Every structure is written in C-alpha cells, then in structure tokens.
Structure 1
Amino acid sequence: MSEPHRPSGGGPSAPAPSHSPLRRVVFGLGAAFVFLTLLGLGTWQVQRRSWKLDLIARTEARVHAPAIPAPSPADWNLVGPDDAYRHVTLSGRFLNERETLVQAVTDYGAGFWVLTPLRREDGSLILVNRGFVPGDRKDPASRPAGQIADAVQVTGLLRLTEPGGAFLRSNDPAGNRWYSRDVAAIAAARGLTETAPYFVDADATPNPGGLPIGGLTVVAFPNSHLVYALTWYGLALMLGGFFAYRRFVRREGRSNGE
C-alpha cells in the first residue's frame, strides 16, 4: 500500500493567535494603575516640598527673632515641635560637677558636646549644651577656666530632647556613653530633678579659656522633594509615552493592512 500523499513544506503557515481582549483589558488597567500611582507620588512630593519650605521659613524666623526667656516649669508641658530652635535666654549657675559628655562630630573634628545643668533662681534645672570640646580636652581638669562658678546668663537655641541614641548606637547610661542629647535619660543618670524637657544650645559667646566652643548648632533640613517629584512625574510621562507610541504603531499597522 502506498504512503498517503503529504503536502510539501512550502504552504502558508497558520496565523499566530492574537491576544485576547481580556488580556488587553487587564494589561491596560494595570498600566493605568501604575500611571496614576506615579502621578500620585509626584503630587505628594510637591505637597511635601511646600510643607518643608514652610517649616524652614518658620524655623528661620524663630532662630533670628529676639531672644525670649526660656520656658518656665509652668509651660514645660506646652513645649513642642513649634518651639524647636526658638531663640531663648536664661540665667543661673552651672552645676559643673554634673556635666555630661555626648559624642559629636563638628567642623572642628570629633569630640564631645558638654551638657551642663544650669540651676535657675526658682530651683528648676535646664540642660545647657555649652558647646564642643575635642577628645583630648574631655577631662574638665584640662579646661579649668571654662568651669564657671559664678552666675551666668546664657543665650541660645531651644532644642527638643533626642531620646534613645544615634543611628545603630544606643545611649549607655551605666557605661556613661552618650550618643544623643536625651534629656530625661541624662537627668536620671545624674540624679537631677525638676529638669526641663528640653535643652539649650549656647550661642557663640566665648567661654573663658576658649572651651567649650558654642554656637555650632546646624539648622538644616534636607529638601530633595522637587527632585523626587520630577522623578515620579518623569516615570509617569515615560509610561504614558510608551503606550501612546504602541497605540500609534498599532493604528499605523491597521491602516497599512497589516
């Protein structure tokens, strides 16, 4: 019996299956969701930028305003973020024997902030960041002129407490190792009562002997929101352009009978 005749391999191939309408709809909805999400992220960054610019303006106004008395005990519970960097003044006597050294890095290099309690006439205490000392001058005996015993007046910036420690480094009160200016923890470690919930960064008024060095407060707020907004909007534009191009190519193909 003869073999059945098979057509030679030169005939037309079967047409490729087209994408189903459901698949196109799902793909389009997914792309639309991503596009709207990118637009939303860009708009959110624009709003964040407006908020940050307002924060910077309000902070600068507090920094450069005339100094006012530091909040008294009756007002301590009212101190909040809107008081950060407020220009304040206070007077009293330093409790030099209870100073605390907090690790710091400044334009002068690595060293320590010197936080010293100041007792006011009403008996209340406020931690004052008197300024920076290098590592080789951390011992108060190496800077005796700066250990002021007389009554003083301090002008500076009100700062909010910094609880816990620094990035990846927790404060160790038992070991007397401090990485942030945690007012409550420092007060507890030094046996201080009636202590304000904030501290004050002293200004650049020179201390006797030149140490500590005050006036090193850095008032800066990262503001990259415009860059982020342009990035999100740019991605949305690229995505929209990609689908517009695909639609144009598809229409051109149909008009050419492809």
Structure 2
Amino acid sequence: MDKSRPLWRASVRKPPTRTLTTSRPPFICQQCLHPGPRKPLQPLLRRHQSNHQPADDPTFKSIVDNPPTLVRSGRKHNRYGLALLASIPLISFALGCWQVQRLTWKTDLVARFEDRLVRDPLPLPPQIDPDMIHEFDYRRVYARGVFRHEGEMLIGPRLFDGEDGFLVVTPLDRRGEFRGFQGNSTVLVNRGWISKEKAAQGKRREGLPTGEVVVQGLLREPWKKNSFTPENDPGRNLWHFPDVYQMAEHVGSQPVWIEETMAADLLMSLDRKDKGVPIGRPAEVNLRNNHVQYIFTWFSLSAATAVMMWMVVKKPVTRGRVGGVRRNTGW
C-alpha cells in the first residue's frame, strides 16, 4: 500500500463518465455542407409584394378622398319644373270633372234606351231616312219579307262563349209587303251568331228559311269602325266589320241595320248551334259604362300630385342647405 495516499481516498472510486445520447441525430444543413450558387431573390420579393396592402400604397385613394358632388346647394326651385308639377293635379282634376259629366250623359242614354225597349214594337216603314235612325236607336221593330240568302254576308271572326264563329247578315226583301211602293224597301238583318263549322250554307240547311218570314229585332245606328280593325273586301265577300253603308251598297239595300232578338234561353241556343240556326241577341242594352272607375282614377291622381306639390314647396331651399348629392364615379 502506498503510504502517501490516505486510506479513505483509496476506498472511494470515481463513477465512470457516461455520455448522453439521443435517438435523433442532430440536424445538419446540407446546403451549408455543400454550398452552391446563390438563388435569385425574385421569389422572395414576390412573396413580400403579395402581402402588400392597398393602404400601404401612397398613391391609393378611397371614397374619403373623393367626396360626392353637390346637386343643389342654396338654389331656388326651378320655376318650369314647379309649373309642370302644378299642371298635373289641375289637368287630372279637370279630367275627373269631365268624366262626371260623361257619367251623367251615359246614365241618361242607357235610361232612354231601356225605356225604348219596354215599348211595343213598331212596324218598319218601307222607306227609312238614315239620318233619323239615331232617334230610334234600340227601338223594337218588326218587318215582313223574304230572306235573300244569295246575298248573305259573314262578319268575323266573332267569339261566342269562347268559341270562334261569324255574324250572319242577310238582306230582307220586303217588296211583297209593299207592292205599290216603287222605291227600295230591302233592309239588312243581323240574324245572329253561328259557329265556324257551320259557315258553309250546305251545313246549315235548317238555318236558311224560305218563304215569307217576320223578323223582330232592334233598330240600330250604323256601327263605328275601330282603327285596329282591318278593312273589308267586298270583292271577295270578306267582312271584318259591319260597315252598314258599304254592305248596303254591296247587296243593293237601304243602309238600315236590324238586329234580330231572341229570348235568353240556354237550351234553345244549344239547339240552334247544332242545327246551324243563327243565335240572336237578347233585347237588352249592352253599352259599357266604366266612367265611375275613370272618375276615381283621375281624382286620385289629382290628389296624389297635389300632395307631392305641397311637399316640394312647403319648405323652400335656404342658402347653405344641400338639396341632394350625386355619387362620384371618377376615381
């Protein structure tokens, strides 16, 4: 034993040194170990520019930098515009008053026609003055004569209960009733409606009476042509509108129009339709009277525009007050 070393030191052993190891090897950059040519900086610059915000641009302009344009500031109302706005309620009110007069006129006219319907029918004289027919419009009359079916005229197309058809107009020759009369006594009779399938005379033999007949109907004024209705073609016997004077000249009769009437019976109408017998009109006044709606429309428009006018002029524009703005689109 070495006497220079104490006993207690000789008995103590140093623990062996242990090296700490990990399961994952340390990271070593391969580019650092193998340096190559430097990569360009453009992808990095693009990445930087992609994150650039519009507000970072010193030339960026927003809606705050472009205030809206003033439409009116401190100006008076345009007198021409006020005059135009003021004329609308006045004109509408005048049209409403005119419709009130029209309503009174139409009501009196319908009452006069209905009074004529309840009177006994008059025998039709041999010669009739066309200028006096308006005094006997809707007057019930009867005439005796023979139908000239060779001069029959079909006016159409005309709808009846949603079905297409024609109006049958036939001259009524009355020379047999007025034998001593030297003038023209033939009149035009609107016999009524037939379906399109029965337009040919060969399909409606029962609807072509022969011999002397008595026709009861309404004496009517000549019809007024609509501007949208096509012109008639007498050469082809094509009629779109009952032009009484043109039709009378075509068949050689008086310009007198009689509408044959019948009782409003559904079963009778169906039977006539199947046999090809014209369906006459009922003895009633069929004038349209919509003037109450027109009165309400014009007076409502007058009131509405008057309120608009009052809202415009009740508070005149003062200096410094902005009446309106316009969006600025030049940015």
TM norm structure 2: 0.60
Q: 1:38 aligns with which of 80, 85, 92?
A: 92
Q: Show the counterpart of 1:67.
A: 121
Tell me, what secondary structure is at the counterpart of 1:178? Answer: coil
- Tell me whether 1:97 sits opposite 2:163 in the alignment: no
Q: Show the counterpart of 1:9.
A: none
Aligned runs of 1:223-242 on 2, under 5 Å? 223-242=289-308
Aligned runs of 1:216-227 on 2, under 5 Å? 219-227=285-293
**C-alpha root-mean-square deviation of aligned residues, in Å?**
3.0
Q: Show the counterpart of 2:188.
A: 127
Letter in 2 for 1:238: A
Give the gaps of 5 or more residues in structure 1: 1-15, 254-258
- Tell me whether 1:170 sits opposite 2:224 in the alignment: no
- Tell me whether 1:81 sits opposite 2:134 in the alignment: yes
Letter in 2 for 1:105: L
Q: Could you tell me whether the CA contact under 8 Å between 2:146 and 2:213 is conserved in 1?
A: yes
Relative to structure 1, is the Cα distance of residues 211 and 27 closer, same or farther in structure 2, using a 3 angstrom cutoff? closer
Distance 1:199 1:87 in 2: 12
Distance 1:81 1:116 in 2: 22
Distance 2:250 2:125 in 1: 23
- Tell me whether 1:51 sits opposite 2:70 in the alignment: no
TM norm structure 1: 0.76
Identity %: 31
- Shift of the alpha carbon at 1:98? 1.7
Q: 1:109 aligns with which of 145, 160, 163?
A: 163
Q: Show the counterpart of 1:187.
A: 248
Q: Show the counterpart of 2:40.
A: none
Letter in 2 for 1:137: K
Higher mean C-alpha displacement, 160-169 vs 54-63: 160-169
Relative to structure 1, is the Cα distance of residues 80 and 19 closer, same or farther in structure 2, using a 3 angstrom cutoff? farther
Q: Could you tell me whether the CA contact under 8 Å between 1:166 and 1:179 is conserved in 2?
A: no
Q: Show the counterpart of 1:18.
A: 74
Relative to structure 1, is the Cα distance of residues 65 and 119 closer, same or farther in structure 2, using a 3 angstrom cutoff? same
- Shift of the alpha carbon at 1:203? 1.4
Q: Could you tell me whether the CA contact under 8 Å between 2:137 and 2:221 is conserved in 1?
A: yes
- Shift of the alpha carbon at 1:77? 3.6
- Shift of the alpha carbon at 1:19? 2.8
Distance 2:241 2:79 in 1: 55
Q: Could you tell me whether the CA contact under 8 Å between 1:100 and 1:115 is conserved in 2?
A: yes
Tell me, what secondary structure is at the counterpart of 1:92? Answer: strand
- Shift of the alpha carbon at 1:128? 0.9
- Shift of the alpha carbon at 1:30? 4.0
Q: Which has the higher contact order (CA 8 A, sep 6+)?
A: 2
Give the gaps of 5 or more residues in structure 2: 1-71, 179-183, 319-331
- Which protein has the bigger helix share? 1
